[in-house]
Structure 1
Amino acid sequence: MRSDEKRIAGGDGLRLAVSLLTVVPVRCGRVDRETARRAMTLAPVAGLIVGAAAALVLSVAGLLGAGPLLGAALAVAATALLTRGLHLDGLADLADGLGSGRPAGDALSIMKRSDIGPFGVITLLLTLLIQVAALAQAPHRAVAVTVAAVTGRLAVTWACRETVPPARPDGLGALVARTVRRRDAVAATVAVVVAAAVAGLLAGGVRPAVLAPVAVAAGLLAAAALLRHAVRRLGGVTGDVLGALVETSVTAALLVMSIA
C-alpha cells in the first residue's frame, strides 16, 4: 500500500473509531475489516476525546463552585452523554446475560433484549456509584478521568486482537473481532502508558506519574479478566461485551487514581 493510501486508510480508521465510540459527528469513509483494524487500534484516541471533555466539565464545575462530588457526577454524566450511554448499556446487558446462568445462545438472546433485568440494574448502579466516588476522591481529577477514559478504550483494542473470536456472525463484534495485531496493541499500550506517566508528572509530580501507569495496568487487567469470562461463557465478543469492558476498565483505573 502506498503512503498516500495508508494515510487515507488511517484517516478512515480514526473516523470510524470516533464514530463508533463517541457521539462526535464524523463522516466515515470505507467500512471494512482493514478500516476496523485501524479503528480499534486507534480506539484510545476516542477515549482521549471523551476524557478531555470530562476534564473540561470538571474544570468548569470547579470554577462555578461545585464540590468534588458534584463535579465528579457531572463528569461521569458527560462521559455517558458523549457515548450515548452505549457502553453502560453494554455493561448492563452483559450482566443480565452472564447473570442468567443460561447457555451461550440463551444468554446472547437475553443480551439482545431492549429491557434491563435485575443483574443489569444492580451492576449499572454500583458501577456508576464507584466511578463517581473514586473520581471525587482522586487528588488530580482531570488526569484521573482522562487516563481512565483512554484506558477503557485501550481495553477494546486488546479485546479485538486476532485471538479473540466474535460470539455472533453479525453485528459490531463480528466487524471488529480478530482485527488487531498483537504488536499494534502493544504499541498502543506503550504510548498510553508513557502519555499517562507524563500527564501525571505534569499534574502533580512523581506520585501521580507512578499511579497513572498503574491505573492503566489495573484497568487492562480487570478488562482481561472479564473478557476471559465472557469468551468462555459466550464463545466470543459482542458489542455489549466491548462496552462492558470499557466501563470495567474505566472503573478499575479510577479506583487506582483515587489513592491519595
Structure 2
Amino acid sequence: MSRAATLRDGWLHATGTLTAVRVPPPSRVDRGVAGTAMVLGPLAALPLAAAAALVVAAADLVDLPPLATAYVVLLALALGTRAFHWDGLADTADGLTASYSPARSLEVMRTGPVGPAGVVAVVLVAGLQAAGLMAVVRHDHAWWAVGLLVCASRAALAVACVRGVPPARADGLGATHIGAVPVVGAVATLLVAAVAVAFAGQALGSAVPTLVGLAVMVAAVVALLVRCVRRLGGITGDVLGAAVELSFAVLVLAAATA
C-alpha cells in the first residue's frame, strides 16, 4: 500500500472510529493504517473541537452560566463520540477492580455491565472536566482554547499505542492498534499537541500552565499503561478510551490555572 493510501485510510479510520462523523470506510485496516489513525487522532478530532468551540461561543452569546456551559460541552463531546471513550473509562475501572485474575478482569471489561468502580470513575472524571471547563469558559477567547484542548487530548492515543506496549488480548478493536505507532510518530503527535496547548494557554493568559498540563497528561497516561500492563498483561481498546478522557481532564484543569 502506498503512503498516500495509508494516510487516506488512516484518516478515514480515525474519523470513523473516534467521532460520530460518517465517512466512507477505509479500503483496508492493517497495522500500518491503525498506527496512522492513532497518530492522526488530534486532527481527526477537529469536528469534535469545532462542536465544543461552537457551544462555548453560543453559550457566551446567551450568557449561559459557566457550569451549565461546561456540561453542555461535555454533552456535545459525548454525543460526538457516541460516548465511546466514556464506556472505555468505565470498563477499565471495573476491570482493574474486579479481580486479581487477569482473565477474569478482561472478561468483565468485555462483557460486564458498568459496576460501582466504573460509575465512580465516570462521575469523578466528568466532574473534573466540568470543573476545569467552568473556569476556562470565563475567558474571552475560551471558545477556540477549548477546541484546541479537545484535539490535544487525543495525543494520548499515540502515546498509548506506541511500539512496545503489549495488547492484553489478541482479539478486539484495540489489538490491531496497540503497539502500532512508531516512536517517531508518537513524538510528532506530542509536538503537535504541544503547539495546540501552547496556543490555548496563550489565549487564556499564559502558555506555561497548559504545557505543564501536557507533561502531566503524558505522565498520567504512562502511569495508566504501566498499571494495566502489570495488572492485565497489556492494554485493550477500553484503556485507550480511558486515556482520552483522563487526558482531557488533566488538560482543562491545567488550563483553568492559566
Q: Distance in 1 between matches of 2:149 and 2:228?
A: 22
Q: Distance in 2 between matches of 1:130 and 1:105?
A: 31
Give the TM-score normalised by structure 1: 0.92
The answer for the alignment partner of 1:175 in structure 2 is 176
The residue correspondences of 1:190-209 to structure 2 (distance < 5 A) are 190-201=191-202, 203-205=203-205, 207=206, 209=207
Note the C-alpha offset of 1:27: 1.0
Corresponding letter in the other structure for 1:194: V
Corresponding letter in the other structure for 1:25: R
- Point out where structure 2 has 5 or more consecutive residues left out of the alignment: none
Note the C-alpha offset of 1:51: 2.2
Q: How large is the RMSD of aligned CA atoms in angstroms?
A: 1.7
Q: Secondary structure at the match of 2:247?
A: helix
- 1:18 aligned to 2:19? no
Contact in 2 for aligned 1:61/1:71 (Cα 8 Å):
yes
Contact in 1 for aligned 2:145/2:200 (Cα 8 Å):
no
The answer for the alignment partner of 1:61 in structure 2 is 59
Corresponding letter in the other structure for 1:18: T
The residue correspondences of 1:1-260 to structure 2 (distance < 5 A) are 5-29=2-26, 30-138=28-136, 139-140=138-139, 141-201=142-202, 203-205=203-205, 207=206, 209-259=207-257
1:57-115 Cα shifts (integer Å, max 9, x gaps): 11112212211111111001111111100110110111111112421100001111251
Note the C-alpha offset of 1:151: 3.0
Contact in 2 for aligned 1:151/1:220 (Cα 8 Å):
no
Sequence identity of aligned pairs in percent? 43
Q: Secondary structure at the match of 1:175?
A: coil
Compared CA separation, residues 125 and 199, structure 1 to 2 (3 A): closer
Q: Distance in 2 between matches of 1:57 and 1:132?
A: 14
Corresponding letter in the other structure for 2:191: V
Q: Distance in 2 between matches of 1:47 and 1:214?
A: 22
Count of aligned pairs between the two proteins: 254
1:134-157 Cα shifts (integer Å, max 9, x gaps): 110125433453343223311111
Contact in 2 for aligned 1:151/1:219 (Cα 8 Å):
no
Q: Distance in 2 between matches of 1:144 and 1:130?
A: 17
Give the TM-score normalised by structure 2: 0.92
1:138-195 Cα shifts (integer Å, max 9, x gaps): 2543345334322331111111111001111111121101110001111111122123
Q: Distance in 2 between matches of 1:114 and 1:149?
A: 29
Corresponding letter in the other structure for 1:13: G
Q: Distance in 2 between matches of 1:258 and 1:17?
A: 29
Contact in 1 for aligned 2:20/2:80 (Cα 8 Å):
yes
Note the C-alpha offset of 1:251: 0.8
Q: Distance in 2 between matches of 1:55 and 1:227?
A: 30
Contact in 1 for aligned 2:146/2:200 (Cα 8 Å):
no
Larger proportion of helix: 1
Note the C-alpha offset of 1:204: 4.1
- Point out where structure 1 has 5 or more consecutive residues left out of the alignment: none
1:5-51 Cα shifts (integer Å, max 9, x gaps): 32222111111111111111011222111111111111111233322
Contact in 1 for aligned 2:149/2:197 (Cα 8 Å):
no
Q: Secondary structure at the match of 1:78?
A: helix
1:213-255 Cα shifts (integer Å, max 9, x gaps): 2222222221111111011111111111111111111111111
